[in-house]
Amino acid sequence: MYGNYGSQPDNKRSGFGKKRSEAEMSSIALEEAIGWTGKLMDLEFKGRGDKEYLVRHRLSENSGVPESYLYRLQYKTRGMKDVAGEYYRRLKLYYDQVCQVNEAAADRYRDERLGTRGNNETSDKEPAPAPLGMAASETQSKKA
């Protein structure tokens, strides 16, 4: 009735016109959450002496996802068939926020390195240098 595309049912589509099954969507969401967790753990790592449980604690505090769930996403994914929607959303939002902060810092660094911030029109402020070489001697002798 609703969402059917003709008289013959299409095996690639659900009855509501979805191209992927819910199981596929769940596994895709789970893979994304696992990837975000790994990347965020790497970004949160502070160097030698930093313990993994401390990194997971900081990530938990910053993202709002419980440490136990981050541990599951890191080590116990074989038994998981999907990811909780709330934790998926929190990880995505925090990952997007971290990416925006990182891109803004990269833009600031590039601007400082290239000197493109602020007023750089020094050519209008300084007089042109005196001419040098053979052409300079010819112009000076013509003036005299």
Q: pLDDT tens, 9-58?
A: 545 554 556 676 766 677 888 888 888 988 999 888 888 888 888 999 99
Tell me which DSSP letter residue 123 carries.
G
**Radius of gyration over alpha carbons of the chain, in Å?**
30
The candidate with the shortest Cα–Cα distance to 59, out of 48, 49, 70, is 70
Model-level pTM? Answer: 0.59
Average pLDDT of the residues in 97-124: 79
pLDDT of residue 144: 57
The candidate with the shortest Cα–Cα distance to 36, out of 88, 85, 103, is 88
Residue partners of 32: CB distance under 8 A and separation at least 6? 88, 92
**Where does the pLDDT of residue 5 fall: very low under 50, low under 70, confident under 90, or very high at 90 and above?**
very low
Q: pLDDT tens, 53-97?
A: 899 999 989 999 999 988 988 888 788 887 888 888 999 999 999
